[in-house]
Amino acid sequence: MIIPIRCFSCGKVVADLWERYLALLDEGKEDGEAMDILGLKRYCCRRMLMTHVDLIEKLLRYDPAERVRANIGGMQR
């Protein structure tokens, strides 16, 4: 969801690198090259960026009240 602040294994701060990592990928850099540019040499820190799934935008669009309204509207028919 939200990028972890620190690497789970070594404790290096990685959250500040997320936006720059995405920008490098958008420029056409490969994953390994982008992480080398950012200074991520340890495989544990590389894992933190490579395996992160950014779901926060999808969750921000979720409205639990809308689901309740849909269920109430379906029951009235």
pLDDT given at position 73: 63
**pLDDT band at residue 31 under the 50/70/90 scheme:** very high
Residue 57, pLDDT > 70, answer yes
Residue 65, pLDDT > 90, answer no
pLDDT given at position 55: 80
pLDDT given at position 30: 95
Mean pLDDT, residues 47-65: 82
For residue 14, how many C-alpha atoms fall within 13 Å in the half-sphere facing its CB? 26
pTM of this prediction?
0.70
H helices, E strands: number in the chain: 5, 0
